[in-house]
A and B are shown apart, each in its own frame.
Chain A
């Protein structure tokens, strides 16, 4: 097909974030045991209830089996060959942002994430997580004036143990699934946000995750609680160096929205995808779930997944409060030998609950892209409504698109809509563009961005621009249009 020529003829742009930063790191010995769990907890000076929680998770994990139902293939993971804790050695309690190791500061600058507040784009507060620890959180003071807590997870455990203890594991229990249990046992850091009642967070909250050390896993944990009537928009971005071996990333994200609260969670996932032959890359096995616990609450997930060798991820919503709303907007790109099995679950419990799913998969090279979604409408969720749309775009004849929708309706008054499409970039589309003076390369890039438009519209402006660029890079399109 013609787009193949257009796609193939372009010299593939390389992964831009693949550098390694030379920082002295403190590593826990490889392997996983109760001792390692205790070590991590000790390193962080955690209270005993949290250590107990970790150990329960670990013991559960030992009895669990790695899931095999996903439409992805990979060799066995040796869980004893991974470092479960890696931290930059010079880390000491930071007096201020100026105390950050210059090497680390330079690394973030190279990634386009300046950690000095005066350099930050106004209106975005950043928590930067490097390997197992948070290195900086900006704008904390300004947020604190409004009662907003935004910090690393470890700091939240120290400063606000009652909040963490109250909500941790309430959406994703420690024994939820194999990877969530693993995370619960060994999670090292991540972000915590609490928005008090009636407060509309005045800036975007943002966490930037970076894996640097070799043979490590990253197991971060994020917990966001929007109290009654609170509103918050949160963004996360992720990158990792180029390495020949696969690295495991098993994160857990829990969101809680109380009465009339709103959480918007946006992700740009750009972990190292492996090389063109499929060597190396991150295994991105992530559990993300939000609970619309209160009436009229709303949780919206938007994700742009361009990285990782394997993605296994289903940001979901439990719609418990009456009139609550869940949304899932997703673009997943798989090129070369990348595999993605991603989608969502919408569990309708409350009355008049509504959910919207728009999932777009783009496959190129030998990429395999799977949408897996579940919509479950429980008895009593009167007048629940769901709209699902999943579209696949194929850019080569060797890639694949797969769709596994699961719809379970136990409530007769529910309304369901499901639309799906699969398309290729047509020769007629390319020729039409050419007949208007537009090159096939620019046309391909334009058509791909048009395909993703409905998702990009849900991203904060800066993120949308970044997402568009990233997709061009992932597909090796050098669009100059626009």
Chain B
């Protein structure tokens, strides 16, 4: 089975500095991969490169998403093709309601897929049960996008958007950061409800804690812009015990993800 996401020898610069130095990774549908690593190892850069953030310059390597050249696509087209990124720091857009924003997003994706656009009533019906899942009340949809939200509310909103947009591949960037244990449970519950045989996830996290709730199929440790070690969920526990210093060896230990 060809992987849904196929990253080969990916190099990327940010502000002229090389951050990714040859990342290779395969993600198949149905799988949840955790990408761990110390600060500055390139985790967030990898997420941004996949989502297409301007200023993240790919200098070498390829990324195929469902066989298509992902790097050639504009960010909005990647989203329409089914990639979703949950941001570590979601932005605020004052005066634009969550409902308006998410409806615009959903309809742009539906249009791309040849589905009819939803009107306001259809949209509200569609999002009702997802709102319950993330414990969001009715007033939430009328508030400005992330406007004045707490850190926890912003993260819940990211996962709520994911639940509504139903991406093929979800990239979660430090979704656990800044969450207390109750909020973490709600968010993890939302993410877990999205797991399925047709969907893949890449969960970027600094701490093992999140992986108690979202149990990954594969764990990769990013170090110095490369994947220094890959394994199953046990690897995360071992990292927790031994620290990142354990895997931060010379660059040559990088190995491609197992097939």
Contact = CB atoms under 8 A, between A and B. Distances in A.
A48 interface: no
Interface string B83-126: 01101001101111000111011001100100000000000000
B74 interface: yes
Given A436-B101, A436-B165, A431 B95 contact: no
B46 to A, nearest CB: 15
A439 B90 CA distance: 18
A446 interface: yes
Nearest to B165: A436
Given A450-B144, A482-B100, A435 B95 contact: no
A433 B53 CA distance: 11
A434 B95 contact: no
A439 B91 CA distance: 16
For chain B, the bracket of interface size reads 20 to 34
B52 interface: yes
A446 B100 CA distance: 9
A472 to B, nearest CB: 15
A437 B79 CA distance: 5
A417 interface: no
A438 B104 contact: yes
A426 interface: yes
A436 B109 CA distance: 8
B52 to A, nearest CB: 7
A60 interface: no
Contacts of A481: 104
Interface string A429-462: 1011111111110100011011111100000000
A449 B95 contact: yes
A335 B104 CA distance: 27
A438 B95 contact: no
A419 interface: no
B104 A434 contact: no
Contact of A439 (B76, B78, B85, B87): B76
Contact of A442 (B78, B87, B104): B104
A440 B54 CA distance: 12
B54 A438 contact: no
Give me the 9 closest cross-chain CB pairs, A-B, nearest first: A450-B95, A453-B95, A450-B96, A436-B105, A434-B75, A437-B79, A437-B108, A434-B76, A432-B91
Given A431-B51, A449-B95, 11 more contacts: A433-B76, A434-B52, A435-B78, A435-B84, A436-B104, A437-B80, A437-B105, A446-B100, A447-B93, A451-B95, A453-B96
7 contacts: A432-B87, A433-B101, A437-B108, A446-B93, A446-B104, A447-B96, A450-B95
